[in-house]
Structures are given as structure tokens and as C-alpha cells.
Amino acid sequence: EEAAEAAAAAGGGEEEGVDEVAAIHAEIQAEQDRIHGFMEHLDEQHREAARQDRQHAEFMQERWGLEVGEHIPIPDSNLKNLLDPGHLNNEGLVLPRGMMEDVERWIEIKKGTMPQHDNLLAVSKPEEPNHFRETASLKIRAQTRNIQTLLTDNQRTALGNKLEEARKKRPPIRPGLNGDQREQNRKIVQGMQNKINFLKNPRFTADRDSAKQGKACPFWFTPDRIIFRDYQVGGVYEVAVEFRNVTQVGRRLRVLPCSSPSFSLGPMQYECDASRAPPGVEPSSVIAPGMSAHVKVRFAPNQLNDETDEITIATEFGDYKLPVMATRYQPELQFQDPVDCGCILAGNVTSRTVRLTNRGGEGSFRLVPQEQVAEGASCYYETTEHETKFVSQRFSIKPASFYLDTNQFIDLTVNFSSADVGRHRFPLHIECDNGQKSGLTLIAIADALRLELLSWPTLPRPLRPRALGVQQSPWTLMPWQLNWLSPGVQVGCSTSQSIAISNGGNLPAKVEWRFVKPPPKLLTQLAVGNQQRLTDDIMSSVHKWQSYRGKNAEELDCPYSVFPQCATIPPFCSAHFTFEFHAHAPVAHRATSFAYLVAHDVPASGSCFLHYSKLLQLEELDQAKDYTRGLPLFGGAVSELFDKKLALTANASEGREDAREDEVEPKRSETASCAVTAICLQGLSVASSVGCMPRMLAFAGSVLPFISHTREIVLRNTGVQPAWFRVRLTSRAPPEGLTYEQLWVVAPHEAGRQASDIELPALEAPGSEYVVALERVDGVGLGISTTYADHDNQLLVEGISSGGLFAAWNSKNPAWQVQRGDQILEVNGVRVMESAGLTEAYKALAVNDRFSLRLRRSEKGYLHVASERLRREWVPLPPLDDSSLPGFGAVATAAVEPDEGKIGPGETVKLRLTLRAPREADLNAHLFVDLPVGPESKESAAPPIKIGVAAAIRSPRVELKQASFLDYGVVRAHAQHTLRVRIDNPSDLPMVTRLRQHSSDDETEESDDSRVFPMDSHRDVVEAFVRGMQSSSKAGFQAVQQQDMSEAIVEPWVHSRSGCLDQSGRSKFKFDGRRKVQNKPDDEGQEEGLDDSVNFVFRPSCLLLWPRQSAEVDVTLRTSEIGKFRALLEAIAFDSSHTQCMEVFAEVQLPRLRLSTQHVHFPVTYIKTPTQPVELELRNDSDMPATFVWDVPLKLESGIEVLIDPQDGTVPPRGSVEITLAAVPTKVAQLAETNCKVFVNDVLQPLVLKASAKVYGLEVDYAVVPSGILPPEIRHEPRSLASDKTSEGAPVSFPVATGRAPKQGPTIDFGEMELQKSKSIQLVLYNRSGISTPWAVRVNKYPAYDPLLKGRKIGGMLDAATRMYALCTKEDATKGASQAPVDTERMTFLSEPQPAAQGRNLSKEGDGSKTTANGSTAKPGDATRTPSTTMNTRSSFHRSSKFEPKGRRSCSSIKRTGGKRKKFLLDDKHEKQAFRSNVGAEFAQLKEIKAQGSVALQYGRGWAVRLEPGNDWLQPFGKSVITLTCFSDLPGLMEDEVVLTVRDLEGHTDGQDFRIPIRLFSKGNPLFLPDQQVGLTKELDPPRLLCGTIVPAEKVVQRTFKVSNNSAAKMQIVWSVYGKAQLNHRSEDRKYVNLALCGKSGNLDPFASQSHSHQQDREAGEEAEEKDDEEDEE
């Protein structure tokens, strides 16, 4: 419109501007239609999704009973399944689920879970996947999940080898490209595949599918859409369209027409230069770049509706569409559809107004029925002067035709009336002048009166609709009676019952309850039970019955009422009606009435009333889904209408501002009332009653005498009228047969005062806490003095002064009085430790502030309160002495408060009964309560109430604390033993008690309490307690003085039977002949002691215990004979038949010991050697500890000494002690013995232990064993016991004695031995005894040379000098005590080197002891120190050096070596290694033996025997092996002796020894030819000396060779020359060389006949000796 106005203002192109505006309007309208259509589609999908969700919720409720949202979560909406995502995307709507796809993809890319680009490397190399590679995360994941490999290492190795073998067999593959090269090649190939034809015009290469791919059209359209507006039927309209080529090449164009016949195209016109074109030639169809073509589009409308079509533009790139639209500003009606006329009761009339607004162009409209409605229903038009009305069967609408301009509206009036119950619907069309029809639907509901019964008080479940059976009356389903008959209602009381009625209709229902009296006939039928249900006759006539005077029970004689009586029930709601029955006199009156429900303002036609079966079928009219239906009330269908009247009903248009006057004319309709249902009400009046609780008043447990006990009795009036009661007292004259025997029943005023007037202090246990609440008062102090107790760190109350707050508190609160000695725990929640802090806390408060203290009741305060309470006990006790006083002979006094009164209906009254008894008794009595008619009447309205009173009145019972028996355990006979027994008073009454031994005579002798206790009544006991409290007694008890017999003092005396002292306190017996008599006091004035038959003494004998206090009694047992003692003690109390017994146990014994054996014999012992310890057991056969002491004699002549450990001690009861016994023989004997005694306390006769032994001396054997053979084993026993022999019967060993070895003994025979060799034999020494002894061995004639002998001698001299120096230094140190000890005291007298870091390893400073090789400590001169200790000290130090700290090295050595051993890269270690074969090893061994022999034979005697070791210790039952090695360098026979000396052996101590013969025969030549001599060949036999070739000119050839002498003696050699033939001579008598020893007297020189003289031989010998010496020096 604005464009049109602008065009008109410009004055040109009016037609084109109008068309353009019309086209724009048409486009906007089409867009709005599309948007509205899609919004309707969305709304329809929303409704469908809501329906499916509701259907799912109903299914869950119906099938499983689950509420969606309460029982199960609300599921996702079905809307996501109904909407098409593609359709939404085309419409430009955003899917909520797809809004975050790009963001989520970006997040996944940043997280690394999604790649941003494709992995081209993986694509280019698919044969080398990398997803099987092991990464760190995969390793961790496999380790966490415990993923095990499928193949073992061996299988993997085998598989790898197999694959490697296959890879080797595979032919070689040329090396390929890498990833970058492959990518470049791929791009090159891809570029090569996209071929470009440079020779062809691009116009001919256009793709026809480009338009589908979204490529722009090569032609520009003007206009881009064709729109025709404001057209009329019969006219022709056209629009010119321009197509301009916007590409760089020429294009062809073809325009295809529209499919609608209303649109047509004109001819195509091309632009060209007419001056250049040849004449008569049409322009070319190829449109050059920038040129255009024109086409005219014509429109010939045949209707006024909008039309839409399109023109197809065919180009080289495809087909493009050009929209063509013919649109007019169509009328558009806006109204509400459907039109809901609401709900009415069937038979009523209602009207509604519908407003129609034209939002489009102008147009005419009319109402026409739809085709299907027009055929089946009667519809017509009614024309009046003013307007036309459209009338159907139930609806009428006016006006039926109308004209509307733009934005003009009209109101249609719709009237609805129907006599049929149900939903009604009528569809219409509003037809426009352009032929368009708009639907209009009229809906309404004609409902019935649907009142339903929901609940009934006598039915447990709600009422629900039920189907009728065959020929079943619906009245059988309807409850109709409310009864108050069983058990009835008390007179003056009222009870109620409720019912619920709901409105199941769509309209509110106005109801009212009315009460009527039933006719007598019906009452008779109800009385006999002949009327079982309601009937149609009752419902039709109930409104005609006689009614009560008023409208409610308060104004008439009707005993029933209902609330509410009138109510309006909204649709689909319920109302509760409560019926109440008011019972009235007389008793047993039965009231019967009827109540019927009236429905008001219902149509008089009665169409809204339906019967039961039709009401069940009206579920379709229910508009509330959560409504629960009840049992329909159908009484209106069978009852008569009454109270008819006319009602004015206004039109629905009333209240509108634009309503016409004729629209609001009131309409008249007739209404009435009707009875819907009826209820029969019946009630019964009953009398009132009074109950009592409890009916039996039993005082639980034991009831203490003298103390008052209170119980409560509750009287309850269960009736509806007030009741009166009166307690029957002893002073009131009771009826005959009902008297009191054991009770003295009094009223409070008869007892002198009321129980409420007596305020007794609260009696609680000691240590109970209470709170005192005070208020700060200006000018008034606390009035309390406190003190601090150090033992328990508490603030104690010392006193209360008058005029203070605490004094006021004690006067106002007697039950919680602050007493002296109470502990103050907290003040206002804070602990206070000082008196000043208490005062400061009070002063810090403001006026009227709360001052709260928490206190703890002290024991003394408790006793003070208890005495005060006992002193003020109320109810008087029955008299015991004067029979003239009232209450004499009664067991107890009972005071009842109140004794009479009134009980309201349903109320209760508590009677307080206080009982008090003077002594112990059993009470079983009754208390009577009369129920009079009135307060002054003596007539009983009911039988009296009989209340039983039972109590077991018992005096305080004594309790024995912490034990039910008294166990003395094991006690000594004839002595006194005391234990303490704690006696406790657990009651609140003081008591008198005592202990005694139970016997059968106690009941007869001491049955009277006056003889046992000094008190006559409990009043005397309480008075004594009160006096004790007034005298400030601190103890919790008081000893009662009695004339008991005291125990006499008796000196201990010896009991002849048991042999011990009698300390039991009994007197010594005297004998009159053979009869034993007890001693009597000598003097008449002497006090007689206790009888000897008394076993127990009690101190004190009688006690007065305060309440809840305890005391200890010493119980002394006097034992007599040995045995088990059993007795029974009983604790008795004053005026108490109860006794608590305590059993006494004791085991009376004397200590008794025994030994496990009486004789200890050692069959084999050795002199001065301790025996192995023997374990003995000293057992105690008694149950008491026994102390023992050993008496061991010391007699040298016995030959044995005994050691016992322990010497004394204590044996536990029934236990034993291990005794260790060892013997040390002092001389050799066949039997040495001695006696030891053990004494036990309190036992005169000792136990005797005999010790004996057979003593042996030292016995040593020897045996000779060849080298390399293990020494034989023998039994290390004395020879008299052992029998060691070989398999041949020969003895294994032989004894070592004195002198030469016997002939039958073994000798040391080395046999034959070649020179320059050695032989070894073992000499074994056996110790058959347990005595260690040193031994020494030597060779008599031919000992081996010892190069260290001289050094040992010098070392011995140094040791002696060191010992002398140490002894002198020690003597000087002991003379001066002030001098410090010197280091010389730590000398060990050894010359061997010792480790510096260890020191001397002394056990004590200055004791002269030293540590031996085995770690033991020995003193100088100790017999246990052996010579081998000194000799082996060095070796022992070396052996133990690896376990001990090393000696300190000098810093220079450490610095020089750098703290560690230097290691050279090149050294001569390889030069020191020996590389030899077996032959070489044997040769080296022979060489070593030869060297040893040369050293051993240095004495020059030709033979030598070496002993290893030469001396040692022979340990007890041990053996020593001596190796004898012989050497020889001269041939011949050697005989010698081995001298053996054993120091402790018999005879050896006197200097004798034992000699064993030695024999050796050596053979061989001591001369030999050395090796490696020039010209001398030793491999031949005999050796050959080559002299070479002798030249005749040389007459003498000289050769030199060496001859060596292996012996220590000098040898003279004579050479003889023999021919070869002579050498080959085999005769036995041949001699080559004669050899003989020289220098012996008496022997001729065998070589005297030789050519050389003796002088020459001597000179030659001297020269040879000098030469040998020179060689030795070299």
C-alpha cells in the first residue's frame, strides 16, 4: 500500500505499483499461511504427544497401580518421536538435541577422542596398521585388568622364528615411497583425473545437474516472482518478465508455461541492434552476455480464490522455477471453535454468544449445515422482520447471513435445549462469497442429577458402582440404616456417624436433609426385622410423612441431628454429612426416625432423573479424570416432584456492554424438589457406670514398717451423668457383714492433718544431684558459707545463715533443702572452686536475674534428711498397748484422701491412700467405696466398689555385700584367722542387726527378740537414729552395747597330736585320768572366757545401721584339728523373720613336704670332678605354702661333698620345687655316702636324703693307627665296665701305665722305608674318665730338629719376667689405695702378639683373671688353666680375629694406600702361578717332603721322628691324635722309644713316664747324580757319560760330573772302572762299588788297598766339604 501510494504520488506507473503491492501482499500472506499451517502442525503433534503420555500414565495406573511422577520417574515425552527433524530443518527451526553438536564435536577433538582430520598416512599405508602397537596406557590398562598373554615366551619365539623364515623366503620388495611422497602423488593423480578441454566452449560443457546442486541460474529474473492482485472474474491481466544473461558466454533460454489454464505466456522477444541486424532476419536465440529476453505472462481468472503456479526456465545448467501467484485480499473470519454452550440439566434451556471478526478483506457470509448433518437432521431457516435464524433440532442461531467489512465483527446468539441426557454436537459451515467455507461446531451437554453415595460408616470399604443381577432390585445395593443400638448411648451423651455423598454431574447440586417420623406400620416392621431395604413406595411417600416441629434436634423432640443440614455440592466433589444421636431418659428408650435427602431447583419436567441402570451408563459425561465414582442415588426417578415453582433465568448475554435489550429478556422456567434417598436412624439410651482402677491395690515388694506408703486409686465415670462416691471409714457405721478387720481406715481430718499440708523432704540416695534456682534481690545476700575440700577438689556448704536467699529457699522448698556438707558443682553452668567466686558470680548479676546452682547431696546431708523425714512421718500408727484406743489390733493404718466427692461424666477422680504399719506382718484386707444417689443420700445407686489391699510388711533385711560365702581358704590348724564381712542396710529405715553361727538350737533358745536385740519397737530404733544425727555422728552405724563374753588371753601351747603351737585362743586341756577336761578360772573374780566350742568371734557383736549405710564386722575363725571346716553364718535383723546366711569354708591343714626319692646314687664318678646335676622334686602335699631349709653336712672322711641348690625356699601349695643336687668325690672309693636333712617350718621331724657314689680315678688308653685311617671309637667308660674289642677279639686300646709298654701292647713300627722319603703313623690317646689332664710326648733318641725351639725358650723367659713385673706392680698398687690402677694390671703374662683394639679382654679390673682360648675366665694358678692355653693363644687370636675389631693402622699407611689395597694394571702374578701336571705335582710333593726331611735330619743322626702335637689337654671322655712322621737319610735299622707323660695319671705325678717302642728299617743309596749335567745321560741304566771322540794325538780326555750326598753324614767314594762286558755279567756275586761308613773304631778301612792314601782322601774330603759349604752359602 505504501508503494502504491508512492507510485500514485509520483503520477506514473500506477498499474505497476498496484501489481507490485499486490504481489508483496500475496507473498506475505502465503508466508503467514505457511507459518500458521506449520504452527497448527506443531500444536497437533503436541496434543498427540500429550495424549500418548496420558495414555501411558493411565496404563501404568490401571495395570500396575503406579503413579507417574510419584512412584516412577516421568519418562521422556513422545514428542521427539512424532516430529520430523528434516522437516524442522527445512522450516529453519532449531532442534534442541542438535544445537550442541558442533560444540560437542569440538570438545571431543580437543579431548583427543575424535580426529580433526583424516589420517591420510593410514589410508596410504593400509598394510602397516599401527593400532596394534603397545603403548604406555595399554600397558597400564593390561596390568590393571590383569590381562595375560595367550602365548608363552617359547611360543612367541617359535612363531617369530617361523615368520622370520617366511620373510626370508619371500622375494624382495622394492622400496616404496614415504607418507609425504605418497600424498604428493595422490594429489597429482587426482589432478590428472580432472581433465579440462581447453578447445571447447565452456557453454557446451555446462552440467544439467548444476541447478540441483545449488548452482545459481545464469539468467537474472526481473521480477523474481509474478504476482497478480485486485482481479475480477472475466478480466485478463499480464506482467512482463525480463531474463538477462549474467555469465561471460552466450546462453540459450527456453520458457515453459504454467500448468494452470488461468495463466498463459506470450512470445519470447530478444534484444538486438536493429541498425546492425540484416533486414528480415530475426534476432538469434543465443542471448549474449549482458543481453536480455522478454516474455509477457497473462492471467485470466475464473474465480476470486488465490491461485499459485510456476514457470519453468530451462537453461544449460538445468531447470529453474519462477513463481506465479494470483492473490486477492481475501476475507478472513476469526472466531472461537468449537462453541461450547455449557452443561444444563436435561429439560433446561441455555444460550451462548459467539463473536465473528473479519480480519481480511470485505465479504458476505452465511450459515449452512454440513452435508452429513443436512442429510440426517432437520434444519431450516426462519426469517423475521429483522434477521434470519438458523434452526436445528437442539440448536438455533441468529442471524444466519451477514456482511462484514475489514475488521468488522458480529455476535451470533446460540440457544440450546434438550430433554435427552448426553453430549450433543452440531457442525456448521460459514460460507464466504469466494466459495471458501469455514467450519463451526456447536457442542453442549445435557446432564442428569447424579448424586452418588461414597462411604457408609458400617462398611469398611468405599462404595463403588455395581452391576445388577438378573431380576435384582437396585435397592438391595443401597445401605439405608444408621444404628446406635449396641451397646447404645448413655443418657445425656451423644455420638455421631458420617456418610459421604458426591456429585458425579457437571453441575452443582443443592441438597437438604429432612427428618420425619415413620408410620406405625413401618415401625412395626422395623421392630420385628421385616423391613430389609428401601422400596419405591417409601421413596414416593417419604416427603408426606409427619415431620418434627423444628428444623433441628435442639428445637424439637427428634433425638437426631445432621451437620451440615443444607449443602451445595460442586461438580465432581463430595460432601460429608454427620448424623448425631442424643440419648435421653428414660433408660432403655429406643428412638427411630427417617432422614431423606432433598434435591432442590431441578427441572419440573423430570428429564434429569434417571434410574440406576441408566446412571451407570453415563461415564461419557465425566469430565474429571481423577473423579472416583460412587453408588448412584436413583431415588428421584421413582419419587414424586414437589415444591414446584417458576424461576427467572437470564440470557448468557447478560452482563455484556454491547448486548441488546431484547437479548437479556428474562425467561421463565419451572423448577421443583425431589427426594433422592432416605436413611433409617435407630438409637438406644443406657444408664451410666463408674469403674475403678485398680481393683486390687497391691503394694509391690516388701513394705517397710513405720514408713508411710502411698498409692493412688482412680475412679472413672464411664456414664453420661455425674456420679457420687463415699469411702467407707472405720468410724462410720458399716452395714452388716462388711467390717474392717486388719485396716484402721481414717479420713485426713480424723488423723489430725491433711496429707497435702505435710511437706516432707525428698529422700534420695547419697550422691544424687539437684538444682537450686534463685533470683538476684537487691540488698539481700546469699546467706551461705562454703569451704574448699582438698581431697576431692570440691566446694562444700559449711552453713546456712538466716535472712539470706538460701534460707528462703529451704523454707519454700523443704523437699530440696540445701544441707551442710553438700557439694557445689556448678554456678550458672560454670564450675566454681572458691567462695569468693560464688559471691562474685552473684554480684555480677542484675536484679531479678536467675542464679542457678547444681549441687550434689552429701552422705551426711542424706542422713539428716532421712532422720527429719522419719521424725515427721504421717499417718498415726495403730496403738499396740492400750486396747481402749481406736485402731487397736489393726495391722496397719490407712488414710484415704478425699473420702467423698463427685465425678463428672467421663471424668476421673484420684483417691490417695496412705498406709503405715508398726511392725512386720502380712496384710490382706479390702477397702469399700459406696456409690450413693446424691451427696447427702444414703441410698446406693449401684453396689459398692470393693478394692483389695494387699501388702507384705517386712522389716529391713540385712544384706551381706560382695559375697554369698566366706572362704578362708587354706588356714593353719590351731590358730586364729580373721576376715571382714560387710553388712549393708539397703532400706530407708534404720535397722539393728547381728551375726551368729547357725545351729539347730537357735530357734528354741533365741526366739524372743528381746533376748537377742536391746530394742522393743521400730520407734525405739528410729529415735536412736534421730539422736545419733542430732549428736553429729559421722559414722554410718552405732555399736550397741551388750554384755558379751570377751575372749580370754591364753599363751600358745604345744599341741601334742599335731606337734605344733596352738594359737587359737583355746585353753590348754588337762587330763583327769584318761578323760580330757577344760581348765576353769582359778579365781572367782576372774572373767570367764569364751567356751572352747565357739568357732567364731564377732567384733562388734550387734550393730545399729543407718539407712543405706554399711559397716564391716570382723569374723575370727578359731581352727582346731586338721580337716575340712564347714559352717553357716546368719545375719539377723530386729523384727525380721528373714535371715541371710553365709556359708563358711576353710581347709585346715599343716604344711607337709615329701621328696621324690630318698636316695641318690651315682654309679660312676671321678675324683675331684663334679657329677652331672640330678633334678629332685620337693613336693608340697598340703594346700598352704611350706618353707624349707637344707642341712648339708661337711665331712671330709665321707669321701664325697654334696651341693644342693636352692638351700632354702618356699614350696607353693600343691606345688613342687626343683632341687638340683651334685656331688664332688674327694677320694677313690667303692662307695662314698652322706646324709642331708631338710627342715620344714612348724614340723619337728626333718626329711632325710641319702647321697652315695662309686668313685673312679683317671684312666688313659692308647692305640696305634696307620696314617689315613680313622681312629677306632671306644666306649668312654672305666675299664672295669667297658669291653671294647675288635672283630678278631683283640682289644681296641691299651692302658697307659708307667715304664715300658707291655709286649702285648702295640708298638710304633714304620716298617721298611726308602731313603729321602717319609712315613706317618697315628698315636691315639683316649680318656676313659671325666677328668681333663695335660699330656706331653717326645722321642727319646731321634727327635726331629725344631728351628723354633730357641725362640720358644726365649719366649718362656720373657713370660716369666712379665709375670714377675706384674705381680710386683700389683703389690705396690694395693699398698696405696688412693693411687689409680695402672695399665700393668691388665697384662696377660703372654709374649705372643695380641690385637690392639680388643685389649686384654679381662673380666674384672685388677682381679688377675684372664680369658682363655675358649672364652672362659681363669685366674693365675687355677687348676683349669692348661698349658695348651698359652701355646694356642696365638692361634686362637687368629681364629677369632674376624669376629673382633681389627688393630688400628697408622695414618701414614692409610694415606699411602688410599684406604684400600692398590691394584696394578700389570703385575707378576702370572709368574707366581704353578702350572704343573700330575707328574709335576707328585714331583713337587716329593720335593717338599725332601725339604722337610732335610730340616728334620739336621741333627745329623741319620734318622728323625717328628711329633705333632707335642703336648695338649686330654679332655674328659675325649681323645687326642698324635701324628708321628719319620725321616731317614741313612740306610739301616732304627729303634727308639716314644716317651708319654700324663700329669694327673697315677705314677706320672711322681715323675714316671710311659714308653712305647719305635722301629724303622731304611734302605737305599744316599748318593745320587744330579740332573742336567753335560754329557751325562741318566735315562739309561746305568747312566752313560759321553767322552766324545778321542783323537790319538790327545792322550787324555777329561770329563767332570757331580755326585750328591743326601745324608747328613760324610761319604768317601772310591771309583772302579769296568768293561762293558763285565757290566753285562749277570752273576749274583758281582760287585761294582763297595760302600762302607768311615770313622768307626774297630773297623778296617775297606779302601786301604786303593792307590790313594788316606791323606789324599782326607784332603779331597776337606775340599769337597768346603765346596759344599760355599754352595750352601750361595
**What is the SS3 string spanning 826-860?**
EECCECCCCHHHHHHHHHCCCCCCEEEEEEECCHH
Highest mean pLDDT among 850-854, 1053-1057, 1240-1244: 850-854
pLDDT of 605 above 70: yes
Q: What is the pLDDT of residue 1354?
A: 77
Average pLDDT, the chain: 78
The CA-to-CA distance between both ends of the chain, in Å, stands at: 151
High-pLDDT (> 90) share of the chain, %: 13
Question: Given the C-alpha cell 550422691, which residue does it identify?
Answer: 767
pLDDT of 111 above 60: yes
Q: What is the pLDDT of residue 1076?
A: 58
What are the phi and psi torsion angles at 573 (to 5°)? -130, 170
Average pLDDT score over residue span 1329-1338: 90
Highest mean pLDDT among 90-104, 149-163, 1313-1327: 1313-1327
pLDDT by residue (tens digit) across 938-977? Answer: 766 667 889 999 999 998 988 887 778 889 888 888 888 9
Cell of 168: 626370508
Average pLDDT score over residue span 516-544: 88
Confidence bin at 1292 (pLDDT 50/70/90): confident
Q: What is the pLDDT of residue 999?
A: 79
Question: Given the C-alpha cell 542438535, which residue does it identify?
Answer: 98
Q: 1295 preceded by cis ω (within 30°)?
A: no
pLDDT of 438 above 50: yes
Q: Which helix (H) or strand (E) holds 1146?
A: strand 1139-1149
Nearest to 1242 by CA among 1387, 1414, 1060, 1073: 1060
Average pLDDT score over residue span 1174-1194: 90
Longest Cα separation, the chain: 209
Burial class (CB in 10 A: 0-12, 13-18, 19+), 1515: middle
Per the model's pLDDT, the better-predicted residue between 1061 and 1438 turns out to be 1061
- Exposure letters 496-511 (e unless 16+ CB within 10 A, then b): bbebbbbbbbbbebeb
Cell of 1645: 778301612
pLDDT of 910 above 90: yes
Average pLDDT score over residue span 400-418: 88
Confidence bin at 156 (pLDDT 50/70/90): confident
Nearest to 26 by CA among 244, 434, 329, 257: 329
Q: What is the pLDDT of residue 1020?
A: 87
Query: What is the 3-state composition of the chain as percent helix, strand, coil, each rounded to the nearest 5?
Result: 20, 35, 45
Residues in CB range of 135: below 8 A, 6 or more apart: none
- Exposure letters 1097-1121 (e unless 16+ CB within 10 A, then b): bbebbbbbbbbbbbbebebbbbbbe
pLDDT of 376 above 70: no
High-pLDDT (> 70) share of the chain, %: 78
Q: What is the pLDDT of residue 652?
A: 41
* DSSP designation for 1291: B
Long-range CB pairs of 846-851 (<8 Å, 24+ gap) are 846/776, 847/776, 847/777, 847/778, 848/775, 848/776, 849/775, 849/776, 850/773, 850/774, 850/775, 851/773, 851/774, 851/775, 851/776, 851/805, 851/827
Answer for the pair 337, 352: CB distance below 8 angstroms, yes or no: no
Residue 41 CB neighbour total at 10 angstroms: 14
pLDDT by residue (tens digit) across 1435-1483? Answer: 333 333 333 344 444 444 434 444 455 555 556 666 666 656 777 777 7
Confidence bin at 681 (pLDDT 50/70/90): very high
Q: What is the pLDDT of residue 1538?
A: 93
Q: How far apart are CA 747 and CA 756, in angstroms?
A: 13
Confidence bin at 621 (pLDDT 50/70/90): low
**Paired sense of beta strands 631-632 and 437-447, if any:** unpaired
Supply the DSSP string of 1060-1090, one letter for each residue. SEE-SSPPPPEEETTEEE----SSTTSPP--
Q: What is the pLDDT of residue 1612?
A: 84
Average pLDDT score over residue span 1253-1273: 89
Per the model's pLDDT, the better-predicted residue between 1412 and 747 turns out to be 747
Supply the DSSP string of 1165-1180, one letter for each residue. EETT-PPPPEEEEEEE
pLDDT of 813 above 90: no
Window from 361-375, 1110-1124, 1491-1505 with minimum mean pLDDT: 361-375
pLDDT of 575 above 60: yes
Burial class (CB in 10 A: 0-12, 13-18, 19+), 1197: exposed
Confidence bin at 842 (pLDDT 50/70/90): confident
pLDDT by residue (tens digit) across 1019-1034? Answer: 888 888 888 887 767 7
Q: How far apart are CA 468 and CA 453, in angstroms?
A: 17
Q: What is the pLDDT of residue 1206?
A: 92
Q: What is the pLDDT of residue 1652?
A: 44
Supply the DSSP string of 417-436, one letter for each residue. E-SS-EEEEEEEEEEETTS-
Residues in CB range of 1620: below 8 A, 6 or more apart: none
Window from 206-210, 279-283, 296-300, 843-847 with minimum mean pLDDT: 279-283
pLDDT of 859 above 60: yes
Residues in CB range of 768: below 8 A, 6 or more apart: 856, 857, 862
Tell me the H-state helices in 697-834: 805-812
| 827 alpha carbon, distance to own chain's centre | 42
Nearest to 1103 by CA among 1035, 1045, 1048, 1046: 1035
Question: Given the C-alpha cell 426462519, which residue does it identify?
Answer: 382
Whole-model pTM over 0.75: no
Per the model's pLDDT, the better-predicted residue between 610 and 1650 turns out to be 610
Residues in CB range of 7: below 8 A, 6 or more apart: 13, 14, 16, 17, 18
Per the model's pLDDT, the better-predicted residue between 1380 and 1480 turns out to be 1480
pLDDT of 1062 above 70: yes
pLDDT of 52 above 80: yes
Q: What is the pLDDT of residue 1085?
A: 44
Confidence bin at 1558 (pLDDT 50/70/90): very high
**Paired sense of beta strands 667-686 and 481-490, if any:** parallel
